[in-house]
Chain A
Amino acid sequence: MYELDLLLITIGGILLIIGALCDLIGAIGMNRFPNFFVRLHAATVGAIGGAFYPLIGTALIAFGSEFLGIYKWFVGGSALVAAFLILMLAPAGSHALARAAHKSKASVVEPKVADHLEEDGGVK
């Protein structure tokens, strides 16, 4: 089983490093983008690229770590559950927040090509 553990840890480590870099890129974008609707892009990079990928990676690392003993199934299983929840909930939450911000006019739609939501008189 040693080769399988090494394979799992290698794949998981690559995913974890990709996720940490995506996290850093999302944080930099969150500080440099001009307004709310542009920052949604950075937040989604930080949520899916920065949380979903490294959670899958840490689950694989935990499944390959014999030194955790029986706890490796706890750690890996809860990491997989959290990854599934983030994959489902992060886009839904961002979308609800964007819709609410557009409706309450909390932020301006600055680089605007076409705003069909405003032309239709806003959301009901």
Chain B
Amino acid sequence: MTLIDIESQVRTLILLVIPLFIIAYTLYIVRILKGPTLPDRVLAVDALAFDLVVFLVVLGIYFKSPILPVTGVVLALWTYAFDIFIAKYLERREMGE
């Protein structure tokens, strides 16, 4: 029985997946630049940041770095705060203080 090399399998899988993510980010950035209203842009930034968390974790596995996924947690929290700020601005025309 020949053993499969797990490291090369994982690296091949990650290299296969990264182009899909890059194409998706390009499409999200097109919507961010084009979006006619403010909520459209915020929604695209929202989805882009949540997918960037995945990209950070994938890069953390690829580069064997434990720091990159931890920054992803902060990015997810920041995106939620951004949503709430923009929602409050749209409703009351003021930034929350």
What is the predominant secondary structure among interface residues of chain A facing chain B? helix
* Known A20-B21, A51-B53: A82·B76 in contact at CB below 8 Å: yes
Once A82-B57, A100-B88 are accepted as A-B contacts, the answer to whether A43 and B6 lie under 8 Å apart by CB is no
Query: For this complex, into which size category does the number of interface residues on chain B fall?
Result: 35 or more
With a cutoff of 8 Å between Cβ atoms, the chain A residues found around residue B65 in the complex are: 71
A69 proximity list for chain B (CB < 8 A): 64
Provide the B10-49 mask, 1 if CB < 8 A to any CB of A, else 0.
1001001100110111111011000001111011101100
Contact of A94 among B10, B46, B70 (CB under 8 A): B46
Q: How many A residues are at the interface, by size bracket?
A: 35 or more
| A74-B39 contact in complex given A20-B17, A26-B24, A47-B47, C-beta closer than 8 Å | no
- Chain B residue nearest to A67 in the complex (CB): B7
B residues 68-97 touching A (CB-CB < 8 Å): 69-70, 72-73, 76-77, 79-80, 83-84, 86-91
Q: Once the chains bind, are A6 and B47 in contact (CB under 8 Å)? A: no
